[in-house]
Amino acid sequence: MLTFLIRRLLVAVPTLFLVVTVAFFMMRAAPGSPFQGDRRLTPEIEAAINAKYGLDRPLPVQYANYVGDLLQGDLGPSMKYRDKTVADIIGEGFPKSATIGLSAIMGAAVIGVGLGVAAALRQNRAADYLATSIAILGVCIPTFVTAPLLVLLFASKLGWLPTAGWGGVRNLILPVVVLALPQIAIISRLTRAGMIEVLRSNFVRTARAKGLSERRIVLHHALRGAILPLVSYLGPAAAGLITGSLVVEQIFNLPGLGKYFVISALQRDYTVVMGVVILYAGLILLLNLLADLLYAALDPRVKLA
């Protein structure tokens, strides 16, 4: 267990380093620069700004400087938001995106597993078809369709919920629902497939032969195995959701990280983009590690080494 953790962390560090390197050079290979486009700058001013941010030096030097700062935990200043550092921007946006994303993925996990188990227990009957249809519909309707439709219905027509903006819990309901719907769909499909397979396995037959109640078999014996495929799916999915969905943040006008990220990428705000990429990659590595640990905890056959 401990050796597994250490080994995984030792692999994670070079992976993260590679991600930083690839992202850095890809970002710089793209044409344009942060100080182009918005206004006409005289060559002197542009050169001065470039010098201020170290953009006038050769690329390898800039890379070395960036990695050096990074190792000291410094993500650098934003190149577009004049008086903010990257850490400020992440500190502002990330908690908001994470609140919405975590609520969505946790709600979706509970509802999706429930639907999936119900569908598997009533395989090929009305309840199963209903759950399957909901699942397929959920996968097929993009968030930028559900979001305006739900706003139209619950905010504009019924007036139950605010249309947009960041504020109380009521503001979060619609964004969370919009984000959760496709996840509910995927999670319920994975759970259904897992459950059907586990219910046919020998240990479930043994449990039945012992005369255990169906309820106990499903909840104590089968569910564990059934959600195994889910565990490996949830890691990357959660990373994507808590770093912020651009579509949802745009439609509901939320000051989250996703919006900052896309705007920064479009404007070549190099440091902000790098900061978010590192956060995202770090989260993916961390959540995958958690998923593996959870996997081993759920499935006694898996040995971590």
Q: How far apart are CA 182 and CA 187, in angstroms?
A: 9
Place of tokens 């490996």: 232
By the rule CB under 8 A, 59 interacts with another protein: no
By the rule CB under 8 A, 181 interacts with another protein: no
Closer residue to another protein (CB): 129 or 203: 129
- Residue 77 forms beta bridges with which residues? 85
CA angle at 269 for the pair 264 and 272, rounded to the nearest 5°: 75
By the rule CB under 8 A, 153 interacts with another protein: no
Q: Which of 7, 13, 32, 52 binds another protein (CB under 8 A)?
A: 32
- Please state, in angstroms and as integers, the Cα–Cα distance from residue 233 to each residue in 125, 139, 184, 243, 292, following that order: 27, 15, 12, 16, 11
Q: How far is the CB of 117 from another protein (least distance, A)?
A: 17
The token duo for 114 is 């429930």
- Tell me if 147 sits within 8 A of 101, measured CB to CB: no
Q: Which of 172, 243, 271, 272 binds another protein (CB under 8 A)?
A: 243
By the rule CB under 8 A, 149 interacts with another protein: yes
Residue 201 DSSP SS3? coil
Which residues, including other chains, have CB under 8 Å from residue 46's CB and lie 6 or more apart?
A: 35
CA angle at 289 for the pair 70 and 67, rounded to the nearest 5°: 10
Closest CA to 251 of 142, 159, 160, 139: 142
Closer residue to another protein (CB): 15 or 65: 15
Q: Which of 1, 6, 9, 26 binds another protein (CB under 8 A)?
A: 26
By the rule CB under 8 A, 247 interacts with another protein: yes
By the rule CB under 8 A, 212 interacts with another protein: no
Q: Which of 4, 53, 81, 144 binds another protein (CB under 8 A)?
A: 144
Q: Which of 273, 275, 291, 292 binds another protein (CB under 8 A)?
A: 273
Q: How far is the CB of 83 from another protein (least distance, A)?
A: 25
Binding site for another protein (CB under 8 A): 15-16, 18-19, 22-23, 26-27, 29-32, 136-137, 139-142, 144-145, 147-149, 152, 156, 193, 196-197, 236, 240, 243, 246-247, 250-251, 261-262, 265-266, 273, 276-277, 280-281, 284-285
